[in-house]
Amino acid sequence: MFLKRILRSVPVIRDASLRSNDFSRNKQILSAKARTQCQYSTQITPKEEPSEVKPTEHEHNAKLSAEITKQLMQFFDEKDNWGAQRVRVGRAWKKEELRIKSSTDLHKLWYVLLKEKNMLFTMEHECKAEMRVLPNPDRIDKVLESMYNLEEVVRERNKAYHLLETGETGERPFKIVFNKLGLRSFYKLWEHIVPKELHEKWKNHIFSYSHNETKNFLKLYREKLWVKKRRSKLQERRYIFQLFKRFPNVDKEYLKELYPDQDIEKLRQSKLTASHLQQKAN
């Protein structure tokens, strides 16, 4: 499988690894169970015994604890990357790459990414606690981006199925409604067992505005927005004057595309575009 490579081999804890000073806090967490195993291995030399003999309780516990630590260490990065300057990794999964993959593959990849995400967040937390720098913090963004892309691809597939079968997208429906302040808001519908008419609590729900206070508020609110817009437009105008003044050969067609609200030809003829250094070129 193509996923096999991403699944990293989990480092087995040995005596040497526990002695290292890289993460002393880890050691404290893991020490209680890991040390018992070490003591056991040094004190008693392993004998070749027939397999029929039942392991003692102590032996059984030691094995179990070793396994638990092995599982828990999957929350941490490989030991080589702990103090690394930079971990070389590729980019995130793109949508077009995920669209080729079958659903089972995507399902597996999701858990691989989830595991990686958990690992990166624990490493980030641990690095903060130990006053160290996490190598390549952009790895977190890469994993999150590919998880987002994967979810989008799954949604696309489900949408296509539902549109073909039922004529609807099959997603949670939404409406754009007015709230009590009179502003438009995005309302996601909820699923109910009881219909609307029989729902007693629903009668108190208001999707409209009628008071004079809200009307007054809306008037002032719109004025505020308009003033903001006017101010930004004036600032743009001033900026364009300066552009003409400094760069008389500036591309006018491109300026028209960038600032569609402004009349560029009219601004060009203004006195404010004149420069004391250069003559007008166009």
Partner 1 sequence: MRLFPNLNSYRNYKRFVGELTKKYGNFPESFLRRRIRQIEFKTPRGFPQYQPRTIERQNFYFGQHRPWTDEFRNQNSISSKTRIIHVEPIRDWSFFKGDRVEILEGKDKGKQGIVNQVVQERNWVYVEGLNCKLKNENKTKKSLGIYYQDEQPLLVTRDVALVDPSDLQPVSVEWRYTEEGEKVRVSKRTGRIIPIPLQAEETLDYKTRGTYVENKEKDTGEDEVLTITYEPKLKTFEMEIMEAMGIVEDRIPKKTYWY
Chain residues that interact with partner 1, rule: CB under 8 A: 2-3, 5-6, 8-9, 78, 87-92, 97, 99-107, 137-138, 140-142, 144-145, 154, 157-158, 161-162, 164-165, 170, 173, 189-196, 202, 232, 235-236, 239, 242-243, 246-247, 249-251, 254-255, 258
| Nearest distance, CB of residue 41 and partner 1, angstroms | 28
| Nearest distance, CB of residue 32 and partner 1, angstroms | 30
> Under a CB-based contact definition with an 8 Å cutoff, are residues 227 and 221 in contact?
no
Closest-CA residue to 34 (of 11, 56, 5): 11
Q: Which of 48/253 has CB closer to partner 1?
A: 253
What does the chain come to in residues? 282
Q: Which amino acid is at 251?
A: D
Q: Which of 68/163 has CB closer to partner 1?
A: 163
| Nearest distance, CB of residue 68 and partner 1, angstroms | 24
| Nearest distance, CB of residue 251 and partner 1, angstroms | 6
Q: Which of 47/188 has CB closer to partner 1?
A: 188
Instruction: Tell me how far apart the alpha carbons of residues 237 and 267 are, in angstroms, rounded to a whole number.
Output: 8
Within 10 angstroms of residue 149's Cβ, the number of other Cβ atoms is: 18
Q: Which of 38/250 has CB closer to partner 1?
A: 250
Which are the contacts of 260, defined by CB distance < 8 A and separation ≥ 6? none
Please compute Rg for the chain using Cα positions: 32
